[in-house]
Amino acid sequence: MQIFEFYFNPKLKSDLIFDSFCYEPENIYEKRVGSLYMLGVLKNALPQNAHFLDKLSGLIKDRYYDPTARSPEKSLKESLKRANEFLEDLTKKGDVSWLGNLSFVALSLKKFELNFSKVGDFKIFLLRGKRITDIDEKVKFAEIEPYPLKIFLNVVSGKLAEDDVILVLSKEIFDFFQKEDILNQIIKAFPFNEKKFREILNAKEERFRQLSGICLLILLTKEKLAPRKETILTKPKVKEFSLKEAFAPLVAFLKRKKLPLLKMPEIKIKKPEIKFLKLPKLRFPKLTIPKIAIFSRLEGLREKFRSLIRKKNTILILSLIFLLLFGFLIFQREAKRQLKEYQITLSQIQEKVETAESFLILKSPQSLKEANFLFEESWEELLPIIKIASSLPKDFQGEIFSLKEEILENLYQLNKLEKISEPELLFEFKLGEFVPQKMIFDGKNLYFFTSHAQNLFKVTRESSGQPIETSQKFDLAVLADSEILFFSKPNNIISFKEEQFSETFFLETPYLDFDFNSFSIFKSNLYFLDKNRGQIVKYPYLGDLKWDFPKLWLISDETQKAIGANSLTVDGSVWVLGKDSIDKYYGGTFQESLSLDFFPYPENLSKIFTSSPLPYLYILEPTEQRIIILNKSGEVIQQFQSEKFDNLLDFAVSKDGKTIWLLSGLKVYQIEF
């Protein structure tokens, strides 16, 4: 059996954490349950989540290899039970940042017996001959219930055969494999091995630079277990100062000069000839053995040897001191040279900042645009120095951070970013009471719901809250005039008006593998986004809470434009939100992409909202802890950012667009715009 782990650009996204954990049995007790392999991905990760995957995998591993373990299947189930307890405890303590963001898979292998369980978006394939099977389709994963919290529910077991291949892919890597037809290339490469897999990946190397994710490859061969191999495919890094580079001149100098090695004098010790006297016949009184003379001579030789050793050690120590001193001087010289370069760079940045500030005085649209461009350039040039500032002299650190504050202050002002230290708290959910994930405003009240639990929760503007009992679970919601339409997967629509639910309406399915992830409404027509297929599906309204058969709204040659999109909203035009882009469609055809060149640069936009009466687009970005307001040409109107927005899940906007409510974890904040 051979194990290969592939990491694709681990540092490409600051809020994405992923890792793999592979364990082989080390003793007779562990051999009873075999090998354990785990992969985890955490999206929208916060700084405090840095060791989340390590803790979770450690708990599972410790329980799996417990000496009392009986079989791989039972051990895995007990391990996942402990993982559930750990996650439940986190939630009760108020840490819900991982909910909806965690993907995790655990596999155990003993000989050819496979057991596995997963949560989230990982895909698991079995390659056998020229056939590939999506084996996790056999698992019917139930939805997450917050209390009691049970994430890992099902364990699937099966028998494998010699030369089978297990392939585990994170979501983004799987989507790319599917888009580039890599899975079919793998099938054609039968008989499959690591070399062929690498050749397939290398052919797509440039396109992989834009992806971030993980892949695990398990080859079930007769070969003796070899150490697992890790491959990291990463984006080229900006060259930064390091001690290794500082010592490079010393190494080069020694190579050029070809300094002779220090040789110690060879020590030769002549072995003494020891002649024993012939002893006379046993006459004890006359017995004489020259013991003292022999030992005296040996002692002298021993002292000579010690003296030579002391000299040798002294020379070695002096040589080492000389080498260290020489290296230190070289390092000091290199450090001074680099410091001088940083000072020159800092002076150039300062000049650029002063030029930008002169443009601000003019206050014309063009001059403000020029100033913003120069400040952005200055920020990009200063970032590498900021990263190593702690290793520089303190007085120089002061200059760096002073310049940093000056640049950011101007960038925030030009990009209309308002930092709020203490945003207004409208409502806070109690621990163990309700864990909201989404929200909607009906003109009077805010309603909160989650796809993981039944019931709604109503919050009024007076900050009071109350639950509304229902047996339904809701995934998405939109406001249609005076009523809310709730959507439950796979295809159920139910109306909520005056706190009463209508009968459920079942929408016709557009195709077999549809999976809607965003929902909007315009003139009672329903619009759904399926980001996996890159398709927008429209349901024309028939009246009386009934909708016609679905229509694929996008024209076929533009379908790819919506692949991987996170959200859509409709105001006559259809606005589709990607991670760092906004595309506008009209009449089923692509119109334009808005230029999002504001600061901080968009990286992971999650939701977009507008309506025909509103002149603005409202966009949520949890990574930057902000809500962005643009006009419909893409110009920034306002940005609100706060450290309190540390777990942004959703937002809602009043009908006049002047009030924004933000759901961050268990807290609801209110902003007046």
Whether residue 600 is preceded by a cis peptide bond, meaning omega within 30 degrees of 0, is yes
Q: How confident is the model at residue 625 (pLDDT cuts 50, 70, 90)?
A: very high
Q: What pLDDT is recorded for position 266? A: 47
Q: How confident is the model at residue 329 (pLDDT cuts 50, 70, 90)?
A: low
Please give the average per-residue pLDDT across 360-385, as a whole number.
Answer: 88
Whether residue 510 is preceded by a cis peptide bond, meaning omega within 30 degrees of 0, is no
Q: DSSP per residue over 234-299, as a string? A: -PPPPP---HHHHTHHHHHHHHHHTPPPP-PPPP--PPPP--PPPP-SS-GGG----HHHHHHHHH
Q: What pLDDT is recorded for position 297? A: 56
| pLDDT of residue 353 exceeding 80 | yes
pTM exceeds 0.85:
no
pLDDT digits (tens, 9 = 90+) for 423-482: 999 999 988 889 999 999 999 999 999 998 999 999 987 767 899 999 989 999 999 988
Please give the average per-residue pLDDT across 109-116, as a whole number.
Answer: 89
| pLDDT of residue 374 exceeding 90 | yes
| pLDDT of residue 292 exceeding 70 | no
pLDDT digits (tens, 9 = 90+) for 192-227: 778 888 888 888 888 888 889 999 999 987 644 445
Please give the average per-residue pLDDT across 261-287, as a whole number.
Answer: 46
User: Between the CA of residue 405 and those of 326, 342, 401, 422, 520, what are the distances in Å?
Assistant: 39, 18, 6, 21, 41
Please give the average per-residue pLDDT across 127-139, as a whole number.
Answer: 73
Average pLDDT, the chain: 83
| pLDDT of residue 38 exceeding 60 | yes
Q: Where are the beta strands (DSSP E) in 34-98?
A: 35-42
Q: What pLDDT is recorded for position 263? A: 45
Q: What pLDDT is recorded for position 166? A: 92
Please give the average per-residue pLDDT across 257-266, as a whole number.
Answer: 45
Q: Which of 37-46, 140-149, 391-400, 530-539 has the lowest mean pLDDT?
A: 140-149
Listed in sequence order, the DSSP H helices in 209-290 are: 243-246, 248-257
| pLDDT of residue 247 exceeding 90 | no
Q: What pLDDT is recorded for position 541? A: 96
* Orientation of helix 291-362 relative to helix 248-257, angle to 10°: 130
Please give the average per-residue pLDDT across 587-603, as a whole number.
Answer: 91
* Orientation of helix 291-362 relative to helix 394-414, angle to 10°: 30
Q: What pLDDT is recorded for position 63? A: 92
Q: Which residues pair with 582 in a beta bridge?
A: 577, 594
Note whether 378 and 404 are within 8 A (CB).
no
